[in-house]
Structure 1
């Protein structure tokens, strides 16, 4: 197999649409893989789409058509040679011509295409042209042909197989990319090639690793074919009859791959070779891990559980939803993905859910998750819309699903195939049935087509029809069955209402907050900068987003008038809301078997639900997740009208010790105290009930319950911050220079809640190692800030806009 990459030398031209004069008629250098926006940006013809309100200036690109052209040299096809032009990904509606001959057309971003070019490729100079037309115009035409199906947001993203959030979402821009977004090449081969390689990796009951390598081959002659598979010092060689073959390799006493926190992630090299008359003509390499994985949905006395089981062990899922990490997908590098997944692991997460409005992620993403032991929940790309099941969509759905299931089947991190995001719920509750009037809406995809493809190509994994999903004749978002999305919180009720339900598995819940200060001010330049200034609002895509932020804040803290205080308060409230939900869900293990936060990451600089903002900076929420998902957790929870301390042990080892409980005044006086011995088995929880004097405050506005064992602490307040008699300025600090940055030594004169160092306000690269720490009166704590910056005034790290806590946002009443 000979590959000739075709990436260099492309030219891009706008060919139709309401194109500005500065762009019309001009050809610019095109980066491949890439997109039209990035090429125009590199040429200086547009401003950065993420900046201020530039997004709205670029709506002309929604209906523009484009021409990519490449002149390249190639050898003429040999007499017995197959030559194919291969596109791994085209975004999205394209026609392909080689030397003036039409090869074909595409209309699916989620799959690759292969064209036989023996009749059109010339020896010497060749011209390849890829013409893209407006994806929006195509989607509107399909909608007119098939009839409207309801969907979220203005554009009919459900009428085209393209990344849905390319058309905008409640956290992302409406830019509608176009371009050659994955590699393109010529492939030359003789005799035969591997059209598909699917290693099905499992573990036999005796611990033997089993690899069944299924291949599809394409022949170009009559040579006898063999399949050679080798892994872990073992190999198998079998003949290939027809166009398929299977080789099984057994690895005795295989080392098991585990999720992070449960064990190591050993992987094995699997080599697969296709032999023609004894000579290797094609090959593929894979890194595999031996493990078994399923989801336990056996009905119980409550309803239907949804518990991931890896290598026979139940796992509490500590997860986050994943969106494309940049709206411009070709800017996402392996290094960037590694940084993001490392941030997930550092926040104690063990699963990422690839949400259905995005893409099937790149091989780099799964490589990184395989290496780090992060489980991957993979949605098929359907989200928040009803999808027609007729052509021209059905054939594309089947083709993309087959290609991507086969591509990903060997990944040890891949834990679940999920049919869609919120579409079963949408049909049940959002008026779709009336609007559809009997037309198809996707149910056949989720309950017939997709599960049949998974059963055929990847029988090693669980398939769920949707998220949320409840089996049987119950509402798809029923808390007692399957998976649940909790969006009453954020949309309508206070975050304390997470307590209203004990779901079996919560696969979406979350709360908004703005990005870090440096990210915000790098991209938004309103003067003055306020929550309602024009560019700030352009980066707030949620319906009534600021109103929900303020209403959610007002239940707990005053809504500040000063923008810097508002920014900190809303970030803090986001962190509080989500950690409140996480601790509630974890306290109910094993009844609740997972909490998947919306969302880990952002695709641009926005006010959103993300824990890591679009410039890769950790928001306060990230630190809150690390605390709430810690392997060992103390959390104060209501049970049957009383307060209990739930001890959560997500270690294999048992956890025992002495729990110290104290009811203290904010000024440090111990008002009541007790000690409770506890012992909690590995991967389990225990409830400890404090005596009444500990949970009954004499002065609810000025007291705190503190639970401590070893280095694990929980605090519980008896009233909302807005009603508490905090010392508004309880902290003093000094800053010392240390290798790699600075140390901020902080002392609390009175109880200080959620102490934070917002270090990026001083140096854009600065990262503080810890944040949102409760400090008792008289305590001292050091906060390490990593930065390459040499500060003229290091004391700025202890300044009033940098060293923060909740106290100054509450009622400024000093209690003696």
Structure 2
């Protein structure tokens, strides 16, 4: 009997440029998985592309062909027993010819596919005593994906390859599209064995384990099947399927025949099952399923999977506004606040499970419970989804199509279907995945380039004959795969997608929305976010610089460390970024100080303010049950993959920007919002508004924390509203204080709507401060509305800011005598703040927990107008406060 064994071919590899005939051309590879850029950097053949403008000097790498090889010893051949030897390639990037001992055994062209090759008869063996062994040479030759893509485009003149980012040839290649460059990343077209290569020996093995289940409406009864597929099953094959609950208790143990058909299946039924809930809504309970393959009663192979039971619904109901779009998990409506996810590094093999955990834990610390895996990257490693399961992060998973018109000739469709089935089947047991989308902004490409599309035509075969044949992929092929492989997961043909109606991608009444009229397109003021949101805002954002310490790392020439340098502009890939960023900063803030430090600060404050207007307003639009205008907000984007000015909340050094904390505050279980009617000063010639009306509200989610707080308050919260002069710090109108009873759980409670201010001060600009507290307890939530734009108001008077560091150096206490805008403590590695980038109101105390501040470490901060403190003019250079 042969017991299943596996050996990862991780070390002993070498690589070279394929055409280099020199015998010493082969260079060492530190480890596989890898891609050629990693190995060239390790061997000091190319510079680090993240530094300066080095990216330009290494474009030749993507145009070349590259070869990798290694040797391995054949596994011993068991005596008196048949066995098989497989080579498994979890991912080859991308066009690869694999040869074993000089003979071609595999040719592949899809980065997203795993491949398995039976090499039982192909491996070398020789007699060494009583043991049969042999040395084998494995070589993988990789073609240039760029060159092959261009050739494919030329071979298919019937298709119009068009897109908005990267080279058009990318759409002909099943490879991570961001490798051709995006508006936040470099152009680095990789090649190599990017996922593990394994040698497996077995007589029979478990090929797949699948769990299908359903929950009844009460969520008290769960039933389903656990099935397994056996490769190499014999007449004596059996599968022992063991099922444990999240506490380790045995639920069931069954022995089922497999037989020559290779399929085994058992049914299960659970009363009062443990459920998997999003973070904050319950436990992230997962059951353990173990399948053990028995051959003649001997254990031959074991596979385990963890499965979480949950009922995930995408609620699409007609209403007065159009059609709703929000998620209901286990019967509870969930506001899906979070962020979009791009690949975590330029070179995927560099991303470890620890890296995933650090990024995803940041999401939870920021009160984010959903992430959208964007369609221009790759299907993430299984550990990514394992961690999302563990932490309770909902996953919106795009298929890997982005911003392009993709072809649909037969071989392309075959590859796409295999890719989709493999990956959906690999991921189908993860409870965190609640929706698949066909891709990112591909129907926008159809609109933008005027590709043919008959909305009334429902015949998939006819779509293949149009100038937009990939409609067949998004609206026929992929939904069929999802229905067959993961029927409990919702599907959308694209993101954004307006339900297939003959309306543009900017439809705000139905479907999800990418709201880029702020920053891109119309460059509307960010103060307009609350008025231009959709039913689910799956992309939007505002750019900012990375942290100053990150800039110092990638800009090696000191003379280039200024906002308008060639290097700084090179590390911003967005078209017209100079105009856009400068316009937003100068429209909103006094920016006479053009130092890099000040522009980093102002860009962080800009992004923070924009996100506050978005998340605060869209939390309000959560509304109430059966009347939900906005179901979620996923900012573009959480992370960066290289040092760049971008829309990321956390830069490539994993330093959090102020916007990260703003979103954290706006996604607290219970929040308060206050905002006066916004008047566009650019249309009013900077004249102050003649009247002032304001709204105030309390927003609650459906989490356990909210339920606990409302129970503790018996549904009544203390509400306070103040009107404070920016110039003097004194109240210009009497405060409003009262108890708010009957707080709507999992909804919005309007406190004031269009409330006029009686006798507002004519020329004394003031903030409106709102806070809620539990009766007799501490402040639960705060919000501050400032008159706009902030550049029109003077901060010359000393703010009277007091920052006190506790003796333990673990708590910061802050007070002020005048309203202080955008207090930001300098982030650095090893230093963690519980809050950052917030406003300070006179007469109130603020406390921030801090970890990692050593005995001799300085704490640094800045705020808007810090240079204006006691001076009558703006000084050159931003001076931080410090203790």
- For normalisation by structure 1, the TM-score amounts to 0.93
Selected match of 2:346 from 314, 327, 334: 327
Counterpart of 2:258 in structure 1 is 240
Match of 2:498 in 1: 470
Query: Residue in 1 aligned with 2:164?
Result: 152
Give the conservation status (yes or no) of the 8 Å contact 2:166–2:182: no
Pairing partner for 1:665 from 697, 719, 725: 725
Residue pair 1:110, 1:162 contacting (<8 A) in 2 also: yes
Query: Which residue does the alignment assign to 1:109?
Result: 111
Q: Distance in 2 between matches of 1:503 and 1:607?
A: 27
Q: 1:805 aligns with which of 856, 860, 864?
A: 864
2:634 and 2:544 map into 1 onto residues whose CA distance is 18
Decide which of 842, 860, 880 is 1:777's aligned counterpart. Answer: 842
**Structure 1: distance between partners of 2:863 and 2:723:** 24
Instruction: Indicate if the aligned counterparts of 2:541 and 2:635 stay in contact, CA closer than 8 A.
Output: yes
Q: Where do residues 478-497 of structure 1 align in structure 2 (5 Å cutoff)? A: 478-491=507-520, 492-497=523-528
Taking a change above 3 Å as real, the CA distance of residues 808 and 768 of structure 1, as seen in their structure-2 partners, is: farther
- SS of the counterpart of 2:738? strand
1:730-809 → structure 2 map (5 Å cutoff): 730-733=799-802, 736=805, 738-739=807-808, 744-760=812-828, 764-787=829-852, 791=856, 794=857, 796-798=858-860, 802-805=861-864, 808=867
* Distance in 1 between residues matched to 2:805 and 2:618, nearest whole Å: 40
1:107 and 1:30 map into 2 onto residues whose CA distance is 25
DSSP 3-state at the match of 1:247:
strand
Residues 780/228 of structure 1: CA separation in 2 closer, same or farther (3 Å cut): closer
Could you tell me which residue of structure 2 aligns to residue 724 of structure 1?
793
Residue 313, structure 1, aligned to residue 332, structure 2: yes
Q: Using a 3 Å threshold, how does the CA distance of structure 1 residues 154 and 52 change in structure 2: closer, same or farther? A: same
Is 1:683 aligned to residue 732 of structure 2?
A: no
Gaps of 5+ in 2: 126-133, 454-463, 623-627, 679-691, 774-778, 874-883
Q: 1:261 to 1:427 in 2, by over 3 A?
A: same
Q: Distance in 1 between matches of 2:850 and 2:797?
A: 24
* 1:114 alignment partner, SS class: strand
**Superposed counterparts of 1:108-257, under 5 Å:** 108-123=110-125, 124-147=134-157, 148-155=160-167, 156-190=169-203, 192-205=204-217, 207-219=220-232, 221-226=234-239, 228-232=241-245, 233=250, 234-240=252-258, 242-257=261-276
The one-character-per-residue Cα deviations of 1:101-121 (angstroms, maximum 9, x if unpaired) are: 100111111110011112211
Counterpart CA distance in 2 for 1:661 and 1:525 is 49
Q: Given that residues 733 and 744 in structure 1 are in contact (C-alpha distance below 8 angstroms), is that contact kept between their aligned partners in structure 2?
A: no
Q: Provide the rounded CA distance (Å) in 2 between the counterparts of 1:544 and 1:430.
A: 21
Which residue of the other structure, out of 286, 301, 310, is the alignment partner of 1:291? Answer: 310
- On the 8 A contact 1:352/1:375 being kept in 2, the answer is yes
C-alpha distance in 1, partners of 2:68/2:830? 38
Residues 472, 544 of structure 1: alpha-carbon distance in 2 compared, 3 angstrom cutoff: closer
Q: Distance in 2 between matches of 1:322 and 1:14?
A: 33
Q: Distance in 1 between matches of 2:348 and 2:673?
A: 40
User: 1:260-315: CA deviations, max 9, x gaps?
Assistant: 12111122211122334444333310111111112011222321111111111111
Q: What residue number does 1:93 align with?
A: 95
1:519-578 Cα shifts (integer Å, max 9, x gaps): 111112233312221221221111111221111112211234222111110111011112
Question: C-alpha distance in 1, partners of 2:661/2:818?
Answer: 23
**C-alpha RMSD of the superposition:** 2.6
Call closer, same or farther: CA 1:724–1:176 in 2, change over 3 Å. same
C-alpha separation in 2, matches of 1:73 and 1:787: 49
User: Contact 2:546/2:645 (CA < 8 Å) preserved in 1?
Assistant: yes
**What is aligned with 2:688?**
none
C-alpha distance in structure 2 between counterparts of 1:361 and 1:75, whole Å: 31
Contact 1:416–1:462, Cα closer than 8 Å, also in 2: yes
CA distance in 2, matches of 1:807, 1:702: 18
Shift of 1:771: 1.2
- Counterpart among 607, 621, 631 of residue 659 in structure 2: 621
Report if aligned partners of 1:422, 1:466 keep a CA contact under 8 Å in 2. yes
The whole-number CA distance in structure 2 between the counterparts of 1:462 and 1:812 is 59
The 1:310–1:809 alpha-carbon spacing in structure 2 relative to 1, beyond 3 Å, is farther
* Counterpart residue number, 2:415: 396
Matched, 1:596 2:613: no
Q: Distance in 2 between matches of 1:742 and 1:681?
A: 36
Tell me the residue number matched to 2:879: none
- Contact 2:177–2:402, Cα closer than 8 Å, also in 1: yes
Instruction: Spell out the pairing of 1:326-725 with structure 2 (5 A cutoff).
Output: 326-433=345-452, 438-475=466-503, 476-491=505-520, 492-528=523-559, 529-559=561-591, 560-589=593-622, 590-637=628-675, 642-650=693-701, 651-653=706-708, 654=710, 655-666=715-726, 667-672=728-733, 673-678=735-740, 679-689=742-752, 694=757, 697-699=760-762, 701-710=764-773, 711=779, 712-725=781-794
Deviation, structure 1 residue 477 = 3.2
Task: Count how many residue pairs are aligned between Structure 1 and Structure 2.
Answer: 799
- Per the alignment, do residues 786 and 696 of structure 1 end up closer, same or farther by CA in structure 2, a change over 3 Å counting? farther
Equivalence for 1:2: 5
Structure 1 distance, partners of 2:209, 2:671, is: 44
- Given that 2:52 and 2:554 are in contact with CA atoms closer than 8 Å, whether structure 1 keeps it comes out as yes
Range moving further from structure 2, 722-731 or 577-586: 722-731
- Using the TM superposition, give the Cα deviation of residue 613 of structure 1 relative to its aligned residue in structure 2, in angstroms: 0.8
